[in-house]
Amino acid sequence: IDELNGKIYAQKRLDREDRSAWRFLVLATDENGDGLTGFADVLVEVRDINDNAPKFLCTSDGCFVGHVPENSPADTSIMEMRATDLDDPKAGKNAVLTYRIVQNVRNEINLNLFSINPATGTIYTVLRSLDREVEDRYLVVVEAMDGGGLSGTGTATIVVSDVNDHPPVFTQRVYTTSMAEDLDINSEVLAVSATDGDEGENSVMTYSILGGDDDRKFFIETDKVNRRGVVRLKKKIDFEKPHERTFNLTVKVEDADFFSLAYCVIQVEDSNDHAPVFFPQFYDVGSMFEDVPVGTIVAQVTAVDLDSGHNGKFSYSITPESDPFQQFLVDKSGWVVVADSLDREKVSQHRLMILATDMGSPALTGSAIVLVTIQDVNDNGPEFEAPYRPIVWENTIAPQEVHMNDTSILLHAVDRDTSPNGGPFSIRLLMLTSDVTNFNLTDLRNGSAMITALRTFDREQQKQYLLPILMIDSGSPPMSSTNTLTIIIGDRNDHPHTPGHSEFIVYNYEVYHIPAEHESWEDVRENILNYNEEGGGEQDQVRCYFHSPLIKSSEGSQEEVHPGGAPPACPHGAGPAPHCAMDFRNYVARIIWEADHDNLALPVDTCQVYCTEGTGSGAGSLSSLSSAFPEDDFCYEWLPTWGPKFKGLSDLYHRRACDSD
């Protein structure tokens, strides 16, 4: 302000858009500032000039964004584009705005899609040509110009919203797949998919089965996440039913307003779910003779497998348990034939288990029973009922009945064949050896016979007799067999002892000599082991076994005889016996073992007695070496006249002939 004239000046450039009015107090003082003072209230208004261009100011998110449904008709209001001009709207036309689109969108025929109201900035559709599925968002540049010619631009975003104007469409018209017959319930069979050009709720699709599944074998579920339909198995499929081998399903997909159809062809593949089945399962083929030739047909079995392909092919076999001797076989056509000779006496009835095993994986098996009864033929001759070993005692007065065992005198015959190929039998002796002349056989005509000994026997001359017995059955033609009956001659104690001549060593290795001339039997008797046998006869005295290491003394010398060497024998005959040395304990043990195990050596009435007598025995001697009479009182010259049974005594004592006087 000028102090003298009161003119007020602006010291800075004023901006009405910053401050449109200034108000301040002016003070005036006279007398050079010392006098009175007056006040004035000054209001300065800043007059607008057109110094601000219009601006499109966005104060929030989503401004200048308009939404319009697709397919909207022409002149549909979409949005308003409002610009701001900071100039004074009251001052002329500085703030009067006019709108126009400086960058529009054109369609395929070069027509603008949008228009704008110049005064209000409202944007409209020009044509009914918006398609969200073609373009869902447009950008339009709008210019706002004030009255002074200043302008500004802004961009309008026009979003085309969806309407349900597209039906869902399957990705394929026809879907094909295959599935196994044994697929589990709820398993996925097939997946179908469709597309919908719309979005949001307008694109929500639902799948269903319209036809081709009268038995409700399938169901379809909608997978909203993956926008597909999954066909699943609801009930088991049976390939063996012809109408369940192929399914042609009609599948529907729909949204809120539209739908479309597709077809699903499902081929069912056979699984090995049926075992072969025999018709019938039991075959009773009757009987056949046991002598039928190999290759004879027994029966034909038939099986059926409802599966197809390899699953329906099968082969026949016979279980080893039902045919342990492999006497039958079955071919690929089911013919059961004889593969080996039959024997009714071994197996009289065959219960064959026939198997039919298919080629599936895993293989399944069916079974049937073939019952074969074997009819007897006369292929076995008679035989002894038991392994007879009868005993006839020597010196028994003839005739005598021969006992077959302890309880019976009858010899029984049996035949493994059945009647009429069995008994009654014809039984007789065959005159093939001289042994037969000593016996007679009586056929009782009831499957048994009785044998009679015709003379008295001497076991020392012959211990057994072999009788060939012919037995003939009643078959047609008859079968015969020859069985040999061994008759043992039992031993009687009809021979006295023969004195022995031996040299042996006792456990203290002292050597005792038994003089060959019998000078000192009494001295020997009282100091060594004596052996006495009751029964058995003199022929038993020829046995002399040595199985232990021996020490032999001969003429004052001794040597060891090993077990591997040949045991010395006790010689018998005329003249004095040589000395014979042995381990006497082992000798006695051997004799006991023979008596227990060698049934032919001694008869059952033989008793062997072993005694140990010492010089201090008060019981006296039981030995036959002891005698109440001196040996010189005996006369032996008559022994050779007694026959062969006394030959041993005669050879031993012939030198002690009695004095003829």
Residues 109-128: what's their mean pLDDT? Answer: 91
Question: How many structural domains compose the chain?
Answer: 6
541 and 606 belong to one structural domain: yes
In a domain, 289, yes or no: yes
Q: Collapsing DSSP states into helix, strand and coil, what is residue 99?
A: strand
How far is 169 from 187, CA to CA, in rounded Å?
A: 25
In a domain, 526, yes or no: yes
pLDDT band for position 527 (cuts 50, 70, 90): very low
3-state helix, strand, coil in the chain (%, to 5): 10, 35, 55
From 436, 466, 490, give the residue that closes a domain. Answer: 490
**184-201 pLDDT, tens digit each:** 999 999 999 999 988 888
DSSP state of 200: G
Which helix (DSSP H) or strand (DSSP E) does residue 595 occupy? helix 584-597
How far is 394 from 621, CA to CA, in rounded Å?
A: 32
519 and 619 belong to one structural domain: yes
In a domain, 363, yes or no: yes
pLDDT at 608 exceeding the cut of 90? no
pLDDT band for position 302 (cuts 50, 70, 90): very high
151 and 175 belong to one structural domain: no
In a domain, 82, yes or no: yes
In a domain, 552, yes or no: yes
265 and 281 belong to one structural domain: no
593 and 571 belong to one structural domain: yes
Residues 258-274: what's their mean pLDDT? Answer: 93
89 and 41 belong to one structural domain: no
256 and 196 belong to one structural domain: yes
How far is 489 from 396, CA to CA, in rounded Å?
A: 10
611 and 536 belong to one structural domain: yes
612 and 521 belong to one structural domain: yes
From 161, 188, 223, give the residue that closes a domain. Answer: 161
Provide the CATH number for the domain around residue 447: 2.60.40.60
Contacts 24+ apart (CB under 8 A), 132-137: 132/70, 132/160, 132/161, 132/162, 132/163, 132/199, 133/70, 133/165, 133/166, 133/197, 133/198, 135/160, 136/160, 136/162
486 and 508 belong to one structural domain: no
* 528 CB-contact burial (10 Å; exposed 0-12 / middle 13-18 / buried 19+): middle
DSSP state of 566: P
Query: Among 285-294, 445-454, 500-509, whose mean pLDDT is lowest?
Result: 500-509
15 and 105 belong to one structural domain: no
Length of the chain: 661
Range of the domain at 571: 503-653
In a domain, 421, yes or no: yes
Average pLDDT, the chain: 81
- Give Cα 618 distance to the centre of its chain: 82
Residues 587-605: what's their mean pLDDT? Answer: 64
Contact 255, 202 (CB under 8 A): yes
**145-181 pLDDT, tens digit each:** 998 889 999 999 999 988 888 899 999 999 999 999 9
